[in-house]
Amino acid sequence: MQTHPIDRPDDLDTVRDSYDRVADNYVDMVLNTGIGDIRKEPWLKASVDAFADTVRGLGPVLDVGCGPGTVTAYLAELGIDVSGVDLSPRMIEHARRLHPQCRFAVASATELDLADASLGGVLGWWSLFNLPRHILPQVLARFTRALKPGGHLLTAFHVGEGDLSRTEAYGGVPVRWTTHRWRPEEIVALTEEAGLRTVAELRFPADEARGTGPGVVVMARRDA
């Protein structure tokens, strides 16, 4: 199957620089508060556990937008052959330092060179929301082609109407990125249009105490 290039987001370099700036503070937050640690989020942990049980033995798993590698390392502990990629070189530096037993590389979701039917699973764990709306379907289609029959995609998104422009994050660090919010039914429709079959959907309400908005986790399967 011929692989067509994915459009490169105009602000890709700006987004990469922003995540490089917040990487140190983000890692400190995860280590000191547990926010972002999958082991301390029972429902999110259950989603990742189900994903691991489903893809185990099917082939390699790729964690796209892995940040400092927290979930990548958790999947490895579960016996999954997993590697992680992230747009931010600084995030990957932290991932390699914190989880030397895992494999990590610097790469954008739009620039991955993925062979057809080469992966048992793809994880996009709250990591694809910076992709412009016209580019996300292209990325999901690329993931579909990369999955083996029976392989699964697990993805999570912020839920809402419209987009949010961020100018600071994680302790007031200056950033420039857009959070594209989607309705749950839109994410389900996009994954199915990409050629996957939705097998599970988990919705989360906003948590004012933690300052987090609503979210959705979707797992989908490539049947053929």
Q: Which CATH architecture has domain 12-221?
A: 3-Layer(aba) Sandwich (3.40)
**pLDDT per residue over 130-164, tens digit each?**
999 999 999 999 999 999 999 999 999 999 998 99
pLDDT at 81 over 60: yes
CA distance 34 to 177: 24
Asked if 41 contacts 110 with a C-beta cutoff of 8 angstroms, the reply is no
Asked if 215 contacts 164 with a C-beta cutoff of 8 angstroms, the reply is no
**pLDDT per residue over 42-79, tens digit each?**
999 999 999 999 999 999 999 999 999 999 999 999 99
Asked if 127 contacts 64 with a C-beta cutoff of 8 angstroms, the reply is yes
pTM, entire model: 0.94
**pLDDT per residue over 20-41, tens digit each?**
999 999 999 988 887 778 888 8
pLDDT value of residue 2: 44
Asked if 163 contacts 134 with a C-beta cutoff of 8 angstroms, the reply is no
Burial 16-46 (b: 16+ CB within 10 A, else e): bbbbbbbbbebbebbeeeeebbbeeeeebee
Q: Show the DSSP H helices in 37-167 as ranges.
A: 42-55, 70-77, 89-98, 136-146
Residue type, 168: E
